[in-house]
């Protein structure tokens, strides 16, 4: 099952649409773990599942399945990587809360976690969907130490879309491009989730 968020109606009720068959995510393998990461560095989260061959003895049934998301090339996004100071906060920033503000009353929140499911681990890089927005009005990091850092600009520039923002606790932030796009790994099954 793969659901696409269609947003909320006038009453605030969220609506979702099943896109599994249209995207190739309706495969019948026995998946035992799932993780999200931007495997191809194009600005959106892709999905990989670990599969169990069961009693079949067929190794091809146990290959991981990669479901590549191509929406990032169509809409704006912001990626955030955190690095704790290693003294007051852990270096991986587990427990940090990142909030972006995109409008008067609009915000998105992400938590850096450790351990995200059975036999899998999501990326520590946080992704925020911006739609048509070209920038965010503020990026706020609440570190595990309790320190709060707010960024409305990085250097002299606003926090812009389609960027990777790397924040080091107590040392500031830098805006970067994502590393060069990677092609699909050999043997990976690809499907474009739209």
Domain with CATH 2.60.40 in the chain: 76-176
The residue that leads in pLDDT, 7 or 141, is: 141
Q: For residue range 16-26, list pLDDT tens digits in order.
A: 999 988 887 88
Confidence of residue 74 (pLDDT cuts 50, 70, 90): confident
> d(Cα 50, Cα 116) in Å, to the nearest integer?
14
Q: For residue range 180-194, list pLDDT tens digits in order.
A: 765 555 444 444 433
Residue 15 pLDDT: 94
> d(Cα 96, Cα 89) in Å, to the nearest integer?
9
Half-sphere exposure of 164 (CA within 13 A, CB side): 16
Residue 72 pLDDT: 62
Residue 25 pLDDT: 81
Q: For residue range 132-170, list pLDDT tens digits in order.
A: 999 999 999 999 999 999 999 999 999 999 999 999 999
The residue that leads in pLDDT, 31 or 102, is: 102
Residue range 55-79: mean pLDDT, rounded? 83
- Does residue 11 carry a pLDDT above 90? yes
Q: DSSP string spanning 56-118?
A: S--GGGGS-EEE-B-GGGTSEEEEEEEE--SSSS-TT-TT-EEEEE-SSS-EEEEE--S--BT
For residue 22, the SS3 value is: helix
- Does residue 104 carry a pLDDT above 70? yes
Residue range 53-71: mean pLDDT, rounded? 81
Domain 76-176 has CATH 2.60.40: yes
Residue 141 pLDDT: 98
The residue that leads in pLDDT, 33 or 82, is: 82
């Amino acid at each position: 099952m793969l659901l696409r968020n269609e947003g909320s109606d006038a009453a605030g009720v969220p609506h979702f649409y099943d896109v599994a068959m249209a995207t190739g995510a309706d495969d019948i393998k026995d998946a035992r773990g799932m993780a999200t990461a931007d495997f191809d560095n194009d600005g959106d989260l892709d999905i990989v599942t670990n599969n169990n061959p069961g009693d079949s003895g067929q190794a091809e049934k146990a290959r991981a399945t990669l479901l590549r998301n191509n929406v990032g090339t169509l809409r704006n996004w912001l990626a955030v990587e955190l690095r704790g100071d290693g003294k007051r906060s852990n270096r991986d920033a587990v427990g940090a809360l990142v909030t972006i503000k995109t409008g008067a009353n609009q915000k998105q929140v992400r938590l850096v976690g450790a351990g995200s499911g059975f036999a899998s681990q999501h990326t520590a890089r946080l992704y925020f969907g911006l739609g048509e927005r070209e920038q965010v009005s503020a990026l706020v990091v609440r570190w595990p130490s309790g320190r709060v850092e707010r960024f409305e600009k990085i250097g002299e520039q606003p926090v812009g879309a389609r960027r990777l923002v790397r924040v080091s606790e107590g040392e500031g932030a830098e805006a970067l491009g994502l590393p060069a796009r990677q092609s699909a790994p050999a043997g990976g099954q690809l499907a474009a989730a739209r």
